[in-house]
Structure 1
């Protein structure tokens, strides 16, 4: 298994565990990741999910699979390669509880996208971010979809077109990262955040995630009414 999964006090930690290969993810790993995120959010007492990694790299992207003897059709490419990637993104979006990316090192390509898809991104000052797919003339439209409503479109366009690798400070300045902490205190920062979340009621945390997921697609009045309904539901349950 290339994922390590632990749970304590309603906090599930899913850790990418292929450090000798930069935590590159194969298609089977993506399916496993999507299933793990979905399962972690399904528990009645689930409060949050932390996506982390072992070794110096968070995730250097998607690993190259075995070469095909024949060129796949567009339909085959969609089902074999694209759908597992989208399933990983959607598992995070659809999770009923917040998902936190704990990025301790380089997050490149798919690694950058999956971290961006999370609701909160805590970065070590050793973290780096890039979308380098255009080096091979591959438009990273799937990764770009993970950035929607998470990162300013102009920043996403810059990362894609320039092939630049930005540091954690720049990522925080542009909204890609929620906060940056010194690497020496990175683990402590994650523990402190998860301890705070673990002390909150699941119903309140689920309301926050539902609002984060849905409100950005609403006009302002609808978003306010949606928030009011969520709050009323939480208050009536306490």
Structure 2
């Protein structure tokens, strides 16, 4: 599928989805969101891809919404704006619930919707110079969709600190708040992400990672009793899976399973 702003490739079972709009700091508009959705759908259906890396070209990871595009939407009806907003909602939900692990490789600033993309990924690596923040309140907008995911990720207190202030934080602060997983020097970023993705590919069952990720997304909405019932059912289901039988058999035979 030919795409203008998003590139897709697979190498050694790692799919790399790359934002490729550096002249606009990889800002999001309807076409970019569509192309991201297309790429994540392709990765979900790609038997050669076990893990996904979300990356970007240029100095910035993603500057958030394209403000010229956002301004043009002010002429829309409520129904038209709801359709466009739902488009972004679907992308964030797609990444958050994607059957494959998604690793963000953040080589530069991730602002507003860019921080939103980082929020919904499963792991994130960044560089010391990168800044993060949800700056929507500073332009009279609101960080509505990402808020749903950020509250889950870092809790109410830290979310309020970021969402209500609109202030930017550096990479180390982002790690301390639980927004980002790792900070590495810029010249080591590619290597660090590659090594981490390789470990997931070679050491972990893809099926097990899928089930675990899906459970994390689901159980938070349940009561304690409902969550435990769901967990017990998933536990029983996993025992009968091919990967579980293969993994336990290899362990008992003192072998390493080949995933």
TM-score normalised by the chain length of structure 2: 0.83
Report what 2:176 is aligned to: 173
User: 1:130 is matched with which residue: 109, 123, 133?
Assistant: 133
Q: Per the alignment, do residues 26 and 11 of structure 1 end up closer, same or farther by CA in structure 2, a change over 3 Å counting?
A: same
The Cα of 1:111 is off from its aligned counterpart by 0.3
1:119 aligns with 2:122: yes
The Cα of 1:120 is off from its aligned counterpart by 1.2
Report what 1:204 is aligned to: 208
Out of 64-73 and 92-101, give the one that drifted further: 64-73
Report what 2:18 is aligned to: 15
Measured in 2, the distance between the counterparts of 1:176 and 1:56 equals 20
Q: Per the alignment, do residues 70 and 29 of structure 1 end up closer, same or farther by CA in structure 2, a change over 3 Å counting?
A: closer
Matched residue SS, 1:20: helix
Q: Per the alignment, do residues 172 and 99 of structure 1 end up closer, same or farther by CA in structure 2, a change over 3 Å counting?
A: same
Report what 2:27 is aligned to: 24
Q: Which runs of 5+ in 2 are unaligned?
A: 246-259
Judge conservation of contact 2:15–2:51 (CA < 8 Å) in 1.
yes
Report what 1:5 is aligned to: 8
Measured in 1, the distance between the counterparts of 2:219 and 2:34 equals 28
1:157 aligns with 2:160: yes
The Cα of 1:169 is off from its aligned counterpart by 0.6
Q: Which runs of 5+ in 1 are unaligned?
A: none
Matched residue SS, 2:213: helix
Judge conservation of contact 1:61–1:108 (CA < 8 Å) in 2.
yes
Judge conservation of contact 2:10–2:49 (CA < 8 Å) in 1.
no
Report what 1:65 is aligned to: 69
Judge conservation of contact 1:102–1:122 (CA < 8 Å) in 2.
yes
Judge conservation of contact 2:174–2:180 (CA < 8 Å) in 1.
yes
TM-score normalised by the chain length of structure 1: 0.90
User: 1:39 is matched with which residue: 31, 42, 51?
Assistant: 42
Judge conservation of contact 1:114–1:146 (CA < 8 Å) in 2.
no
Aligned pairs, how many?
237
1:86-106 Cα distance to aligned partner (Å, 9 max, x none):
111011123111111111110
The Cα of 1:225 is off from its aligned counterpart by 4.6
Larger C-alpha radius of gyration, 1 or 2? 2
User: 2:196 is matched with which residue: 193, 197, 215?
Assistant: 193
Judge conservation of contact 1:60–1:110 (CA < 8 Å) in 2.
yes
Report what 2:81 is aligned to: 77
The Cα of 1:35 is off from its aligned counterpart by 2.0
Judge conservation of contact 1:147–1:156 (CA < 8 Å) in 2.
yes
Measured in 1, the distance between the counterparts of 2:48 and 2:129 equals 33
Q: What value does the CA root-mean-square deviation take over the aligned residues?
A: 2.1
1:153-207 Cα distance to aligned partner (Å, 9 max, x none):
2222222222210011101111101122222211111001110111133212212
Measured in 1, the distance between the counterparts of 2:165 and 2:105 equals 25
Judge conservation of contact 1:41–1:48 (CA < 8 Å) in 2.
no
Measured in 2, the distance between the counterparts of 1:189 and 1:67 equals 38
